[in-house]
Amino acid sequence: MSIYFTESHEWVRVEGDSATVGITQYAQEQLGDVVFVELPDSGKDVKKGDEIAVVESVKAASEVYAPLSGSVTEANSALDDDPALVNSAPETDGWFVKMVLSDKGELDGLMDEAAYKDFVKNL
């Protein structure tokens, strides 16, 4: 299992051809208290950079982008009842979607954890 990060503060945990996507600790801190999450339907095909979710907080609404291309296999239904999971566990239970990847070569454009931490330090 490998974890990668984007400059727009999504994380993606890759296992084989499958991936789980969410937002980072930094992103949820910037958003504040999350009150609603809009997720895609299973079966939706997305390209890297497409909007895959919308997060509404007490401060603002923000889009979540697909870090990789593929097909959504599952949306985290727990967020329907408890959107605050995005705040309390952004990189574990507060994940947004699971997907099957269509182009693992796109991983080359993502950051590892050390590079992401350096990126955030310079913001």
Provide CB contacts within 8 A for 97, sequence distance 6+.
20, 21, 39, 40, 52, 53, 72, 73, 74, 75, 76
Domains in the chain: boundaries: 2-103
| pLDDT per residue as tens digits for the range 48-69 | 999 999 999 999 899 999 999 9
| 1: pLDDT strictly greater than 90 | no
What percentage of the chain exceeds 90 in pLDDT? Answer: 98
- For residues 123 and 27, the answer to whether their CB atoms sit within 8 Å is no
Dump strand ranges (E) for the chain: 2-5, 10-15, 18-23, 34-38, 45-46, 51-57, 61-65, 70-75, 97-101
The Cα 24–Cα 71 span in angstroms is 21
Q: Is the pLDDT of residue 90 over 90?
A: yes
Nearest to 32 by CA among 83, 108, 80, 92: 83
Give the pLDDT band (50/70/90) at residue 34.
Answer: very high
Is the per-residue pLDDT at 91 higher than 90? yes
The predicted model gives 11-33 an average pLDDT of: 97
DSSP β-bridge partners for residue 71? 45, 100
Q: Which helix (H) or strand (E) holds 42?
A: none
* Its pTM surpasses 0.85: yes
Mean pLDDT of all residues in 22-27: 97
Kind and range of the H or E run holding 120: helix 113-121
On whether the 2-103 domain is CATH 2.40.50.100, my answer is: yes
What pLDDT, on a 0 to 100 scale, did the predictor assign at position 29? 95
